[in-house]
Structure 1
Amino acid sequence: MFLARLPITMNGILMTLYIVTGLGRGYGAAGLVGGCVTLGMALGAPLLGRCFDRYGLRPVVAVCGIGTTVFWIAAPHLPFEALAVVAVAAGMLSVPAGSLARQVLATLVPPDERRAAYSLDTISIEATFMIGPAAGIAAITAFSPTWTLTALGLLFGATAFLIWLVNPPIREGAGKAEELGPRPPLRSWLTGPLIGTLLIAGGALFVLVGTELATLAALRANGELGVTGLIIAVMCAASIAGGIVHGVVKRSLPQGVLMLLLALLVMPVGLADHPWWLLMLALIPTNLLCAPTLAATTETVARIAPPQVRGEAMGLQDGFTRLGLAVGSPVVGFAIDHSSPEWGFVAAGLGGLVIAAAGLLRRRTPAPTPEPVLAVADQP
């Protein structure tokens, strides 16, 4: 899954650079295509998760792997209009490596050890983000955009084939949905606690993408973009350290508390205006809570969702995180454009607090009471 996530971390920056440099379009046009891909991923994740629940791993991964490979190989040969049209479908067919990894861990790891496993998984995600974008930029700089996008498509296909070949278990038992019993109705498991957890997951990504955008804006305003890579590496390292602590302690903070701290600690970062190293140090506390918050939400989804619908539930989590990314960028960007980079950190924190508050209120909503089933002797 580490290898499967690498091309996912590259595709956004590579598509942006291809549209800007290869097609001669602006960043707005590149953002439109990137947003369409993200929207497709958000819409497709729960649908693919339901397909995993119904058909198993191999058929779904085979279809997604072929579709994604064809798209990225064909992308450098398509005009901009065609790219914009097929971007949503391409996003929907992306192999959901994140939700798939969480399903496998939920199957292989006992419930009392899942916090450590999901923390390790989140650390793995941070490592891919430290490697993937930098490798993609180096490749498209050294080689042509056509070759780079083609290689990316082949990498998507190769990692999908590896997943298909290994065929890790995604549900208990032999892996057949029939052996787990009938699929429970949607309203019996998509209840307040689960919806609240999904909102908290989306809120966390809102804060994270907003923090990154505000950081870039602050560095650009001060003419210090040259240290961007170093600051992002420190942010990732802080998240990894927090994930390690979250995974090894016997008892960690609840997901709601982690989310609130994540949002609160980012708001005063804008006060560290000068110099860049002070901004970097101010970003460490909030990033220490990044991996723990994401791991805690995943652990909660795995605990609440019945095994028969775990794929769909994990897909919904993927969809909410994608929506958090999609909403966070324009909201925080609007705040920066109409004020200053410092207010971008405040907007990221406030937006996260609003979404987290909605999630916490939703978690307190009681589950619907099932209708009573009459015994045979009681029926007329």
Structure 2
Amino acid sequence: MGFATYAEVLKNPVVRRILLLGMFIRVPLWAAGVVITLHVVTHLGRSYTEAGLVSTIVAVALSVSSPWRGRRLDRVGLRATVLPSIVIGAVAWSIAPWLSYWPLVVVAGVASLFAVPSFSIIRQVLIGHVPDRQRTTVLSVDSVATELTFLVGPVLGVLAATYLPTPVALLICQLSVVGGAIMLWIANPPLNSQHSDLSAGKVSVRSWMTPSVVMVLVIAVTSTVILTGEDLSTVAALRDWDQTTAIGWTLALWGAGSAIGGIVYGALHRHPSAAALLVGLAGTTALVALAPDGNLFWFALLLTLSGVFCAPTITATVDDLSRSVPASVRGEAMGWHGSALTFGSAVGAPIIGLALDHGGWSWGFALAGLMGLVIALPGLALTRRGRAAAGAPTVEEAVALGDAQQATEAPLGI
């Protein structure tokens, strides 16, 4: 393993700055997600179902906007893309906390359509400013940083909603996201290095949306379906066992396993494909269903083991995708990746919820794992075929030559 590569990556000033900026945006973003639910339920006196509808509208809006905002990044650059997000976000979220339920739904949806494409920006900057051999490592660092913000953000959101009126807490969280976007606009980090090959220019989606790219996006969707399934099934299991006080630390162990897995994955000299890691994630998720009923020790142990594959699988989808598309459309591709993750979370909740209602917590884990294995098998076959074609021209070369036949055969994750 090459843990020394992490030291090399973190010596890069561009990497350090963009990771720090990412933290400033992501922590209040995760906090706002919790606060808006509490705001709808407590301040507006609505049900959790109605609070869930707001989250669904926001998720759909983000799924629609991510590729579009990513395409804007590719074509007009960071500042021209982020400025409308800053203006619309500041206006919308200054008004939204004081609105009644249905106007809040509309304003939240509109604001989400113009959300800052922070994940696309951060990953583009990271990929564009490290050598190819450090790409997986720097993406693993970003994955672990995201895990940390996801652990910290909701806690701060709950604290803010507890000690402040929820409209004020929501205002602070969302304007903090806008503040992070302003810092990003001022910093204006270059999305690509001077060595990036942008010769492909503006190309249509059809020229780079190859079977390999589609499979990576399907794996990303499936990964978040599994993660949503693990989250919901964990809560269901511990509620069944009257162990609700253990929910927090059990999920924390799951997150810690994910962070450890991400660090180890980034240090490997040879990296498994996203499809191979999905097999590990799906298999260990299904394994949790075999934990003895009521045995918290074995349940937490198996859940932590499954967590080891979480961050590496998501990181691998970003890595494989970034190597499968031209640099000139990387922002749009990362937008599609963000939509895939959001879509997986949105569809995962009702699917796993159905399993929990009919079969209990073990069915939730079993279904999530089975779905992952079904998707991973064709992914593995496509990956092997791509790696067998290692001598073929890259996607960027094929698109630059206008050879659609070669572009569809470009190798995945090479």
Is this a same-fold pair by TM over 0.5? yes
Q: Secondary structure at the match of 2:116?
A: coil
The 2-side partners of 1:69 and 1:360 are apart by 45
Q: Secondary structure at the match of 1:338?
A: helix
2:251 to 221, 227, 232: 232
Whether 1:201 aligns to 2:234 is no
Query: What is the alpha-carbon root mean square deviation over aligned residues?
Result: 2.2
- Segments of 5+ residues of structure 2 without an aligned counterpart are 1-21, 390-394, 406-414
Equivalent residues of 1:195, 1:362 under 8 A apart: no
The 1-side partners of 2:195 and 2:272 are apart by 35
- Segments of 5+ residues of structure 1 without an aligned counterpart are 373-380
Whether 1:310 aligns to 2:330 is yes
Equivalent residues of 2:229, 2:349 under 8 A apart: yes
1:72 and 1:221, CA in 2 relative to 1: closer, same or farther beyond 3 A? farther
Instruction: Tell me what 2:16 maps to.
Output: none
The 2-side partners of 1:86 and 1:174 are apart by 41
2:311 to 291, 312, 318: 291
Q: Secondary structure at the match of 2:359?
A: coil
Equivalent residues of 2:82, 2:185 under 8 A apart: yes
Displacement, 1:251? 1.2
Displacement, 1:265? 0.8
Relative contact order higher in (CA < 8 Å, ≥ 6 apart): 1
Whether 1:258 aligns to 2:291 is no
Equivalent residues of 1:266, 1:349 under 8 A apart: yes
Instruction: Tell me what 1:15 maps to.
Output: 36
Equivalent residues of 1:120, 1:243 under 8 A apart: yes
Displacement, 1:70? 2.6
1:75 and 1:218, CA in 2 relative to 1: closer, same or farther beyond 3 A? same
The 2-side partners of 1:371 and 1:298 are apart by 23
Displacement, 1:356? 3.3
The 2-side partners of 1:44 and 1:291 are apart by 24
Instruction: Tell me what 1:378 maps to.
Output: none
- Total equivalences in the alignment: 370
Whether 1:370 aligns to 2:403 is yes
The 1-side partners of 2:253 and 2:146 are apart by 15
1:172 to 172, 193, 206: 193
2:166 to 145, 148, 158: 145
Instruction: Tell me what 1:31 maps to.
Output: 52
The 2-side partners of 1:149 and 1:57 are apart by 26
Equivalent residues of 1:201, 1:294 under 8 A apart: yes
1:113 and 1:66, CA in 2 relative to 1: closer, same or farther beyond 3 A? same
The 2-side partners of 1:172 and 1:188 are apart by 24
Displacement, 1:220? 1.3
Instruction: Tell me what 2:110 maps to.
Output: 89
Equivalent residues of 1:205, 1:324 under 8 A apart: yes
Displacement, 1:81? 1.1
Instruction: Tell me what 1:375 maps to.
Output: none
Displacement, 1:205? 0.8
The 2-side partners of 1:24 and 1:358 are apart by 47
Whether 1:271 aligns to 2:304 is no
The 2-side partners of 1:122 and 1:160 are apart by 20
Identity of aligned residues (%): 36
Equivalent residues of 2:254, 2:304 under 8 A apart: yes
Instruction: Tell me what 2:61 maps to.
Output: 40
Comparing 312-321 and 89-98, the one that deviates more: 89-98
Displacement, 1:305? 1.2
Equivalent residues of 1:70, 1:153 under 8 A apart: no
The 2-side partners of 1:103 and 1:137 are apart by 32
